Amino acid sequence: MSEDTERDYTTVSISIKIASKIDKIIINSCYLNRADFIRDAVREHLKKFEGV
């Protein structure tokens, strides 16, 4: 990636099956969208590996 287009984030692909499951969860939750749900899920999972 060139310096002119450098971002402070990246994208990740997930299967439609997983996206559909997330969509069902966020309907009745505090999450506004998939990105918010996935961000929190990844953060929680990463906590398990801190200090390893």
Note the pLDDT of residue 1: 47
Could you tell me the mean pLDDT of each successive run of 10 residues in the chain, 52 residues long? 71 96 95 95 92 66
Question: What is the residue-wise DSSP string for 3-48?
Answer: GGG--S-------HHHHHHHHHHHHTSS--SHHHHHHHHHHHHHHT
Rounded CA separation 16/35 (Å): 14
Residue type, 20: S
- pTM of the shown model: 0.73
Note the pLDDT of residue 3: 57
